[in-house]
Amino acid sequence: MSITPQAASARNREICQLAPIIPVLVVHDVSHARPLAEALVRGGLPVLEVTLRTPVALDVIREMAKVEGGVVGAGTLVTPDDVAAAVNAGAQFGVSPGATDLLLDTCEDIGLPLLAGAASASEAMRLLERGYDMLKFFPAEASGGVPTLKAVGAPLPQISFCPTGGVSPSNAASYLSLPNVVCAGGSWVAPSDLVNSGQWGKIEALARAASQLGL
């Protein structure tokens, strides 16, 4: 079933409103998928972005999709093949570092809500022209961070963002304080050392702290 840009943005806005932080996850071991997802969901972060940067990423999505209360998406979507594979694995939304017409066409045709990336006013305006008003701002810090988003928000108040890339506990609250930011993406809630050592309680604690940001 296909999806319009407007419907995709509406769905992604609903997803982004579920928690202030979306964990950006790079998982190398499928056995970590379910306990990691369960820890993050228990900690109050139900939306999970699994990046397609490891050979087991699609299997990780399949496992995380089984976790009650979780909303699992696929990140780093770049090609039509990525989109098809993500949907087949059970991804409920997609995330891309940028946007191309081919990628947007594919997501719309296959019915996957895409959180498309923009790093400039022109990129954001082009996506808005197509019907997307809920975007990823990437790479956030390298693209000017909070001051840039604040400046873009003045002439383009109808566009909302999920900044990702360099967002950390030290600056997340500043991003979340902006009226055009719905949530932010961050990897600090699932550091590789804690994941690899199976310290799910500590990850749950990091998630719980992150879930309170911006309140």
Q: How far apart are CA 115 and CA 96, in angstroms?
A: 6
Tell me whether residue 215 is in a domain.
no
Q: How far apart are CA 41 and CA 96, in angstroms?
A: 23
In terms of phi and psi (left: phi > 0; alpha: psi -120 to 50; beta: otherwise), the region of 165 is: left
Tell me whether residue 120 is in a domain.
yes
Q: How far apart are CA 74 and CA 91, in angstroms?
A: 6
Question: Which residues participate in catalysis according to the annotation?
Answer: 49, 136
Tell me whether residue 141 is in a domain.
yes
What range does the domain containing 187 cover? 5-207
Q: What is the DSSP letter of 46?
A: -
What total of structural domains would you count in the chain?
1
Q: What is the DSSP letter of 30?
A: G
- The pLDDT of residue 82 is 98
- The pLDDT of residue 215 is 75
Q: Is 12 exposed, middle or buried (0-12, 13-18, 19+ CB in 10 A)?
A: buried
Query: Would you write out the chain's pLDDT as a tens digit for each of its 215 residues?
Result: 899 999 999 999 999 999 999 999 999 999 999 999 999 999 999 999 999 999 999 999 999 999 999 999 999 999 999 999 999 999 999 999 999 999 999 999 999 999 999 999 999 999 999 999 999 999 999 999 999 999 999 999 999 999 999 999 999 999 999 999 999 999 999 999 999 999 999 999 999 999 999 87
CATH number at residue 95: 3.20.20.70
Contacts of 90 by beta carbon, 8 Å cutoff, 6+ apart: 61, 62, 65, 72
Tell me whether residue 214 is in a domain.
no
- The pLDDT of residue 141 is 98
Q: How far apart are CA 15 and CA 79, in angstroms?
A: 23
